[in-house]
Amino acid sequence: MPAIVVHGGAGTIRKEERIPKVIEGVKEAVLAGWRELKKGSALDAVEEAVKVLEDNPLFNAGTGSVLTLDGRVEMDAAIMRGKTLEAGAVAGIWGVKNPISVARKVMEKTDHVLLSGEGAVKFARLMGFEEYNPVTDERLKQWEELRKKLLEKGEVKHWKKLNELIKEYPEVLRSTVGAVAFDGDEIVAGTSTGGVFLKTFGRVGDTPIIGGGTYANEVAGASCTGLGEVAVKLALAKSATDFVRLGMDAGAASEAAISLATRYFGKDTMGIIMVDSRGNVGFARNTKHMSHAFMRDGMDEPVAGV
């Protein structure tokens, strides 16, 4: 049974007026993916759904990505095919509109899984991706305000200070977008992010780490969102698919994965979406919000929420 689920990031949406816009954004993405899924390709469905989210400045991926401590955009993305275990990813890439599409090219055009930094940018140019500036005025303004707050707290060992800032200003944690789809034959998972506001230059989160923030095999696929270091340490996306292999459906596996994150690292850390090989959809979070939407056969409209 074909199915697709998307997320727009786990964390806290402080401004209530943003919630309807965010829900509309994930609905638009899941419908774009569903149109491709009905044509028969989970791979195309995931790429298109994530591209819609990357192009929406409400979300922290592609256009609207958050800025590093030194005011740059460094984006991560990954995509993985469950049937063949083929995967492609980019880390710390800049100057492109849709990192998820570059990640797909890494998977399809190279023998590698992950390209990073300048190498990823050079590869993107070779593949015909044009120069693009994803920085928005809103993100630039937020960066200036948050960086001032961080400097007030001291810049030495700023990555420790940033954890304190996240607690005080939860909007710092703007997370990630992702999609997982099953076309009746194959499961595909994809994830894209601008990372965490004011992150240390060169920091790579869970999104492009296969098994950490993105994973798919023959039984299930998963895309994670939240504190990337948590997902990496738990190999959370892979762990979630292992729960399915042990007999859980996507819903139960999602809850089990988030329980694992909560047990080791506490609340307000992670969210996850999943699809299994029976077309079951799952999603769970231990944060206040995680925008999401899904479609399955027999549904006329997507179900969405935060």
* Active site (catalytic) residues: 176
62 is in an annotated binding site: no
The answer to whether the annotation marks 206 as part of a ligand binding site is yes
Has 146 been labeled as part of a binding site? no
Are 303 and 39 in contact, with CB atoms under 8 Å apart?
A: no
- Residue 262 annotated as part of some ligand binding site: no
Query: With contact defined as beta carbons under 8 Å apart, do 54 and 192 qualify?
Result: yes
C-alpha 177/C-alpha 226 separation (Å) is: 10
Strand partners, 284: 272
Q: How many CA atoms lie within 13 A of 173 on its CB side?
A: 28
203 carries a ligand binding annotation: yes
Q: H or E element: which one contains 304?
A: strand 303-305
Q: Which residues of 155-186 are buried (b: 16+ CB within 10 A; e: fewer)?
A: eeebeebbeebbeebbbbbbbbbbbbbbbeeb
Q: Is 225 known as a binding-site position?
A: yes
Residues 6+ apart with CB under 8 A from 178: 6, 7, 50, 189, 190, 191, 192, 207, 213, 214, 223, 224, 225, 273
Crossing angle of helices 99-109 and 42-54, in 10° steps, is 150
According to the annotation, is 102 in a ligand binding site?
Answer: no
Q: Is 205 flagged in the annotation as binding?
A: yes
Q: How many whole angstroms separate alpha carbon 237 and alpha carbon 231?
A: 7
Which phi and psi (to 5°) does residue 171 adopt?
-70, -15
Residue 165: what residue type? L
In 96-139, the DSSP E strands lie at 114-116
- Alpha-carbon distances, residue 116 vs 33, 102, 262 (angstroms): 27, 11, 30
Numbered residues of the known binding site for substrate: 203-206, 225-228
